[in-house]
Structure 1
Amino acid sequence: MVNKPTGVDTHPSHENQHDSLSNFVASYFESQGVKCRAHPIHRLDRDTSGAVIFAKHHLSQAILDRMLQHKHIKRTYLAIVNGQLQKNHDTISKPIGKDRHHPTRRRVSPNGQTAVTHYTVVKNINNLSLLELSLETGRTHQIRVHLSHLGYPILGDTLYGGTKDPNGQALHAKSVQFVHPISEEPFTILAPLPKEKRWMLFA
């Protein structure tokens, strides 16, 4: 398990990139004399911090990939959004596809892939809301797209209409729950907010 900092790509985005989370994990194992092929089971956007599962060999990777596919890995997030939601908890079930007018942006599309996000309002702060969210699916930018589609973009997420904020994008993967692929021991792993995002709990 790795607690990804803000501003780091999960995977290298080009051949000569050496500052991705995957590179850092590989370098760590090498420094410890551990021979393995560390592979992230899921990814977080560059400006999203928090918990990422890495598999150390092909067998655990295959098992964890299957667990993720069958929704046996639960991921929980914290986000601060612009505005106050009308419902204290709800499920957003809207398919997501590529936005043909932008190279990286996604959008809700009837021809997109199934995407399901659950949210609960933790508290309201002036014209902001702190949410706890969990995913049934893992589409690119899923939480960001779904919340923006509702009209409540994430604070600092200017790609999807959020208000620019000096603290950056207010989205953090706070925990994951899963069963160990070999020992079958249940785990709940908590990822503390990084220093630059601790303000989210006191906003």
Structure 2
Amino acid sequence: MENSYRELRYTYITNSPDDTVTAGEIMRDIMKLSSREISRCKKFEDGVMCRRPDEINRIVPVRLIDSLFPGDELIVRVYEDNDNAGDIVPADGPLDIAYEDEDLIIVNKPGEMVVHPSYAHYKDSLSNYLLGYFIRSGQRHVIRTVGRLDRETSGLVIFAKNRHAAALMAQQIKTNDDKENAQDSLGDEPDNMSRRKEYLALCSGVFDKTHDTIDAPIRRRPDERMIREVHPEGKRAVTHYEVVHQYDDYALVRLRLDTGRTHQIRVHMAYIGHPLLGDNFYGKEIPDDHGMTRAALHAGYIEFMQPITGEKIVINARMPEDMQKLTS
């Protein structure tokens, strides 16, 4: 195999005493490989193989339509191109790794850092630093983000190390909307039963309710590229909040989303009269930001199923120093 490819190997031993099953059914239904991944496996001579115990453990190629019998071991190899999409430049920089395994890496992003490179942040994005880490640690991975956070928001960002893990993690994102609407998110991600994410925010003012649900549609403000607003013509957006601690003129609030609209938390909290401290887009009327220079929002908790092993993973990330100072 050429050095430009990296091998991922998956195996499954059939055990049903009554029914036969095809290689394709195992790859689709049990290994959860996508059609694209299956097609790619078929291109390589050793992409789809079977070890048959009744033939002195002989390993032979199999077709997707071939039946496997109890005791047969299906061996699937997925070869991935090591070239990094987008030509991201590796860089040395701060990287707070909260979790890492063979398939995923989760990084606690500082506030005021972009996730992906851009014209203004060609070498100082989280992706630049992560690629630098991969190279220093001898890993060869393409940068694949599973969801994202906007520049000002701190907290946990998931990256997949291979296509298969990325596809399975994407399946864990399900909202009350259709898939097209779910892709609207460029900042906050939707929650669901298999992947749960919670945020902490510092919101201005004194809350009348200790917890509530905001169900108000959000759209992009006309003639504005970044600014969003609550409007009847917008897409449905649902935010649940709970006041963790009320201070004199601001509160620490825990939030959970049912949908994932751009700036959803920031827009919704401003809509009910409690914009985030430091929010220059939606909190310009706040009399005192208490020293916050960014929107005080932190994605501090995530819960999901490891896409390959099925293990439940729970990660907590402490608030960054700028928010901690206002909660101590």
Work out whether the TM-score is over 0.5: yes
What secondary structure is seen at the aligned counterpart in 1 of 2:115? Answer: coil
Matching of residue 150 in structure 1 with residue 275 in structure 2: no
Indicate the percent of aligned positions where both proteins have the same amino acid: 40
CA offsets 1:34-63 (integer angstroms, 9 cap, x no match): 011131211112111111111111111111
Letter aligned with residue 76 of structure 1: E
For 2:220, the equivalent position in structure 1 comes to 98
Residues in 2 aligned to 1:133 and 1:111: alpha-carbon distance in whole angstroms: 24
* Deviation (angstroms), 1:165: 4.3
Matching of residue 49 in structure 1 with residue 174 in structure 2: no
- The equivalences for 1:33-48 within 5 A come to 33-48=138-153
Letter aligned with residue 73 of structure 1: R
Unaligned runs of 5+ in 2: 1-105, 176-191
- The equivalences for 1:40-79 within 5 A come to 40-70=145-175, 71=192, 72-79=194-201
Matching of residue 108 in structure 1 with residue 258 in structure 2: no
Matching of residue 131 in structure 1 with residue 253 in structure 2: yes
Residues in 1 aligned to 2:144 and 2:326: alpha-carbon distance in whole angstroms: 30
1:4 corresponds to which of 106, 109, 113: 109
The answer to whether the 8 A contact 1:175-1:189 is kept is yes
The answer to whether the 8 A contact 1:170-1:200 is kept is no
* Deviation (angstroms), 1:115: 1.5
Matching of residue 166 in structure 1 with residue 271 in structure 2: no
Letter aligned with residue 26 of structure 1: L
Matching of residue 122 in structure 1 with residue 244 in structure 2: yes
What secondary structure is seen at the aligned counterpart in 2 of 1:50? Answer: strand
For 1:14, the equivalent position in structure 2 comes to 119
Letter aligned with residue 77 of structure 1: Y
CA offsets 1:126-148 (integer angstroms, 9 cap, x no match): 01111011112221111000101
- The equivalences for 1:77-92 within 5 A come to 77-92=199-214
The answer to whether the 8 A contact 1:116-1:136 is kept is yes
For 1:194, the equivalent position in structure 2 comes to 320
CA offsets 1:44-86 (integer angstroms, 9 cap, x no match): 1211111111111111111111111352311111111111122
Flag as ranges the 4+ runs of structure 1 deviating above 6 A. none
For 1:183, the equivalent position in structure 2 comes to 309
What secondary structure is seen at the aligned counterpart in 1 of 2:117? Answer: coil
Instruction: Please report the RMSD computed on the Cα atoms of aligned residues, expressed in angstroms.
Output: 1.7
Letter aligned with residue 154 of structure 2: S
The answer to whether the 8 A contact 2:220-2:228 is kept is yes
Q: Using the TM superposition, name which of 91-100 and 190-199 deviates more.
A: 190-199
Query: Highest CA radius of gyration, 1 or 2?
Result: 2
* Deviation (angstroms), 1:201: 2.4
The 3 A distance-change label for structure 1 pair 13 and 140 is farther
What secondary structure is seen at the aligned counterpart in 1 of 2:173? Answer: helix
The answer to whether the 8 A contact 1:121-1:130 is kept is yes
The answer to whether the 8 A contact 1:73-1:177 is kept is yes
> Which protein has greater RCO, CA pairs closer than 8 Å, 6+ apart?
1
Unaligned runs of 5+ in 1: none
TM-score (norm 2): 0.59
The answer to whether the 8 A contact 1:43-1:52 is kept is yes
Matched residues, number:
202
Letter aligned with residue 197 of structure 1: M
CA offsets 1:117-162 (integer angstroms, 9 cap, x no match): 1100111100111101111222111100010111110011021025
Residues in 2 aligned to 1:110 and 1:100: alpha-carbon distance in whole angstroms: 14
Letter aligned with residue 266 of structure 2: R
The answer to whether the 8 A contact 2:277-2:292 is kept is no
Residues in 2 aligned to 1:16 and 1:104: alpha-carbon distance in whole angstroms: 18
